[in-house]
Structure 1
Amino acid sequence: MAEKRTVVVTGFEPFGEHAVNASWVAVKELEKLGLGQHVDLHISEVPVEYQAVQNLLPSLWKKYHPKLVVHVGVSGMATTVTLEKCGHNHGYSRRDNCSFYPESQCCMEGGPDCIHSVIDMDSVCKRVNSSGLGVTVSVSKDAGRYLCDYTYYTSLYLGQGRSAFVHVPPLGKPYSAEKLAQALRAVVLEMLELMEHNTEKHLCQHSQ
């Protein structure tokens, strides 16, 4: 019997012009769908505050020991479900919901400028786009230097790259919450599949 894998998926609270945050609405819909019987799914709403992120993320990693953490955020500019390849350490001068931003304008003083996910986002993108889901997925290298990027970098740092970030468009532009949840489900399952595959590859190399 396959061992159960734990996945944590987060969405954000409302901020700015997003009185309803599509990311959290989509994540709650994903919880209803579930990720199948072999995956334990836990969801969490992330405040749009730098200091809250610094407190919340280590506790999520510590509490659940997840195989993968997927953060979902909304982007007013997005028209597709967008997979982010990496998180950035510097450039955080936009004020959060508490009108605060880090004095150093960075996530982790002394940390690398950029951390990439261990997941090959191009592969995930191709697979989901060819699955006939009716939701377009794309890939990006810039998560926007705000709470999304900040959260992603922090999580990549804590999880040694076992994290992903997905930007979704606002609700109805063009997708419903249900459609976004289906896309998230497909994306997360592909990510897990790729991670399993990579572990097997590493094992094969060691055994030679």
Structure 2
Amino acid sequence: MEQKKTVIVTGFEPFGEHAVNASWVAVQELEKLGLGHDINLHVAEVPVEYQAVQSLLPSLWKQHLPQLVVHVGVSGMATTVTLEQCGHNQGYMRLDNCSFCPKSRCCLEGGPDCIHSVIDMDTVCKRLNSSGLGVSVSVSKDAGRYLCDYTYYKSLFLGEGRSAFVHVPPLGKPYSAEQLAQALRAVILEMLELMEHNKGNSLLDSRVHAHLKTSVS
């Protein structure tokens, strides 16, 4: 019997002009929908605080040993559900909800400037936009150098790329919480399928290499 997959999905608490944070509202709606009986879904609300992220994320990865962690954030500029391809290490100047900012202006001293997700967001985006989802999906390579980008980088580092970040627009601009939750569900299932497919391919590649090696020797 195949073991259940574990997926963690997070949203953020309110901050700035976002007195209600669409990301956490959408994630709570997603929790009601679930990801199907063969996937354990854990949700968590992330504080908009650099230091809280530094301690919360390692414990989430360690406690649940997820196949995938998807962070959801709100962007006042977004009009689509936006898939972020990478997280950035440097350039964190904005104060958080505790009026704190890392002195180093970075997430991980000595870490790579940018870490990419193992998931090809362009592929996920194309598949969803041709699926009749009713919600537009786009791809971005700049998560904004605030808590969203900071969280994503930290998670990509901890999970060796097995993480994703999704920016959603504020509620009603243009999508409802239910529409956003449906879109998140479709996005996550597509990501898992792609990861499974790629895992199959890499296994195949290693078998082919092994076969070639033995043939040659």
User: TM-score, length-normalised on structure 2?
Assistant: 0.95
* Overall identity of the aligned pairs, in %: 80
- Other-structure match for 1:195: 195
Partner of 1:26: 26
Structure 1 match to 2:114: 114
Helix, strand or coil: the match of 1:207?
Answer: helix
Provide the rounded CA distance (Å) in 1 between the counterparts of 2:109 and 2:157.
Answer: 12
**1:145 aligns to what SS in structure 2?**
coil
Aligned to 1:79: 79
Instruction: Tell whether 2:52 aligns with 1:40.
Output: no
Within 2, Cα distance between the matches of 1:100 and 1:118? 31
Look up the SS of the partner of 1:189 in the other structure.
Answer: helix
Return the letter of the residue paired with 2:39.
V
Worse overlay, 26-35 or 2-11: 2-11
How much is the aligned-residue C-alpha RMSD, in angstroms?
0.5
Q: What's the counterpart of residue 162 of structure 1?
A: 162
Which range moved further: 106-115 or 198-207? 198-207
Alpha-carbon distance in structure 2 between the residues aligned to 1:65 and 1:186: 22
Partner-residue secondary structure (3-state), 2:76: coil
Kindly state the Cα deviation for residue 207 of structure 1 after the two structures are TM-superposed: 1.1
Gaps of 5+ in 1: none
1:3 shift after superposition: 2.4
**Residue aligned with 1:167, SS:** strand
Q: Which has the larger radius of gyration?
A: 2
Q: Which AA in structure 1 matches 2:69?
A: V
Deviant stretches of 4+, over 6 Å: none
Q: Give the whole-Å Cα distance in 2 for the aligned partners of 1:75 and 1:169.
A: 5
Equivalent in the alignment of 1:185: 185
CA shift at 1:206, angstroms?
A: 1.1
1:130, CA displacement in angstroms?
Answer: 0.9
Q: Distance in 2 between matches of 1:21 and 1:76?
A: 10
2:52 corresponding residue in structure 1? 52
The equivalent residue for 2:141 is 141
Q: Which residue of 2 aligns with 1:16?
A: 16
Cα distance in structure 1, aligned partners of 2:189 and 2:55: 28
Alignment correspondent of 2:212: none
| Corresponding residue SS for 1:72 | strand
Number of matched pairs: 208
Distance 1:190 1:127 in 2: 8
Q: Distance in 2 between matches of 1:50 and 1:23?
A: 18
Equivalent AA in structure 2 for residue 207 of structure 1: R
> Quick one: distance in 1 between partners of 2:125 and 2:53?
27
Q: Measure, in 2, the Cα distance between the counterparts of 1:114 and 1:192.
A: 23
Q: Residue in 1 aligned with 2:153?
A: 153
Name the stretch that deviates more: 36-45 or 1-10: 1-10
Counterpart position of 2:215: none
Letter in 2 for 1:86: C
- Equivalent position of 2:90 in the other structure: 90
| Superposed displacement of residue 2, structure 1 | 3.3
